[in-house]
Amino acid sequence: MTVQETDVLVVGGGLGGVAAALSSARLGRRVVLTEESPWLGGQMTSQAVPPDEHPWIESRGATRTYRKLRQNIRDYYRRNYDLSADALATAVLNPGGGGVSPICHEPVVGVTAIGELLAPYRADAQLTVLCRYEPVSAETSGDTVTAVTLRSRETGEETTISAAYVLDATELGDLLELAGVEHVIGAESQAQTGEPHALDGPADPLVQQSFTWCFAVDYHPDGDFTIDRPVDYDFWRAYRPDFWPAPLLSWEDVIPQTLTPRREAIFEHPDSPRGHVAADRWNFRRIFSAANYPRGRYGSDVTLVNWPQIDYMAGPLLGVDEQTKQRHLAASREQSLSFLYWMQTEAPRLDGGTGYRGLRLRGDVLGTSDGLAMRPYVRESRRIKAEFTVLEQHVGVQARAEAGLPPGSEIFTDSVGVGSYRIDLHPCSGGEGGPSTYIDIADHPFQIPLGALIPQRVENLLPANKNIGTTHITNGCYRLHPVEWNIGEAAGALAAHCLNTSTTPRKVRNDPALLAGFQRLLTGSLGFDLSWPEHLRTSER
């Protein structure tokens, strides 16, 4: 076993973890950043989910470094790809042309863009990055986390790292459990939170948002890239949740906002892999667009499959034993491969045929040999019991109206950032009742309160991912790319600031003068937005 010491330890290298490490290093602290997968970037890279962002992302509502990350991605394509004249002339280049975001891109480009941001701090080992390391235990002394032990997924070697501040940026809030930090999993009840969309019965820790094992494909109409029939294909072919209008492996699903049935196939036209602006699956999360290049240069687009048909609802990842967790992870992979096999062999085509055998898995785009993303896309984590918990009544349009509150999101005087995303909960693994349906409701652009980043008891552990003080409901709007980045960057800045000024996070939040000083740091050299203009704060998404 090796032993290391640092100022700030960030466990988890997703977007929040990267941003936390970056802000701590920018403020002069020594940082160790660890990540269990080979790639940094989490949902943007190893989970392969294109950025899902708000309508104003190009001009406001994100930190300066998040905007720099996006610029690095665009610049990479301009420097290295033979873009068409039209694409080169586009100021807001969307490399994938996907409808979900103005900057859909290949995951590996996100890895490179993140590397460019971190490089200046790695040159002299101010920042140390340990990939393929997972936390296995934590040491505590009273209300302080003193050290975390991590194990190499390659060699099995263990490394113990002690730090003045420990940031939990893992996808599932693993350090909260390892360090005995008070936390919540699953769904609260209306009796606990007063939220209109909370459970109308007892809280249920096993009601958690579905997770998804994404994959990428391109399409060659004359090819045959049919995979082997998955072992569990018959199970998934027959699987149909009670609230679903058809078997899950079909083009049928429901509109999340209204729960009315809809049909949405992969292509608007069966032989149109290049895609154009169209309401079909192919275009929505396309990560590489052949239309950005001279005609004939590339034979196909590449699209990222993160569709309702592969949301895994059959069981949660938290609140179960390790064997059950691993069983659910393996079943999720089978579900994704089964949907691909169904598309290749059975899916109805618009031309009257059956199956798109020209769909080809592109694991090379995702850095894997099996064709699936490195890691599952996780939507819900353990959440700290925080000094302040964000409720539906603080951000939800309906909830605020029913409570007689004025239009617009709650104004938090301790804001450390902003975000905007609908309260979007994918179908959840159920407790005794089985899978439960979507919650997708309007909210207002919101702030990130510092109180949601401070545990009720522990003094030196901070959340830096989806594990802040939200509820099951409000996690649905605080979980996407730019918000996770902002949370992590704020947490990393807070840790460094407390070390630099000999104070504590709790004191910063509860002393008006200290809070004002920290907020000046955020809005000054770090370039944070801490509030929305009034006309946006009162708007609805």
CATH 3.50.50.60 fits 2-187+456-513, yes or no: yes
Q: What is the pTM of this model?
A: 0.97
* Tens digit of pLDDT at every position of the chain (541 positions): 788 999 999 999 999 999 999 999 999 999 999 999 999 999 999 999 999 999 999 999 999 999 999 999 999 999 999 999 999 999 899 999 999 999 999 999 999 999 999 999 999 999 999 999 999 999 999 999 999 999 999 999 999 999 999 999 999 999 999 999 999 999 999 999 999 999 999 999 999 999 999 999 999 999 999 999 999 999 999 999 999 999 999 999 999 999 899 999 998 754 444 444 446 899 999 999 999 999 999 999 999 999 999 999 999 999 999 999 999 999 999 999 999 999 999 999 988 999 999 999 999 999 999 999 999 999 999 999 999 999 999 999 999 999 999 999 999 999 999 999 999 999 999 765 567 889 999 999 999 999 999 999 999 999 999 999 999 999 999 999 999 999 999 999 999 999 999 999 999 999 999 999 999 999 999 999 999 999 999 999 9
Q: Following DSSP, what letter does each residue of 148-205 receive, concatenated?
A: EEEEETTT--EEEEEEEEEEE--TT-HHHHHTT--EE-SBPBHHHH--TTSBSSS-BT
Q: Report residue 34: phi and psi, to 5°.
A: -120, 155
- The pair of three-digit structure tokens given for residue 393, joined into one six-digit string: 């009544």
Tokens 């943007």 found at: 44
CA dist list (Å): 298 to 4, 266, 290, 293, 305: 48, 20, 6, 8, 20
Tokens 């899950």 found at: 248
Q: Phi/psi zone of residue 321: left (φ > 0), alpha (ψ -120 to 50 degrees), beta? A: beta
Q: What angle do CA 389, 393, 395 make, to 5 degrees?
A: 85
Domain edges within the chain? 2-187+456-513, 211-366
Q: How many CB atoms lie within 10 A of CB 517?
A: 14
pLDDT at 430: 76
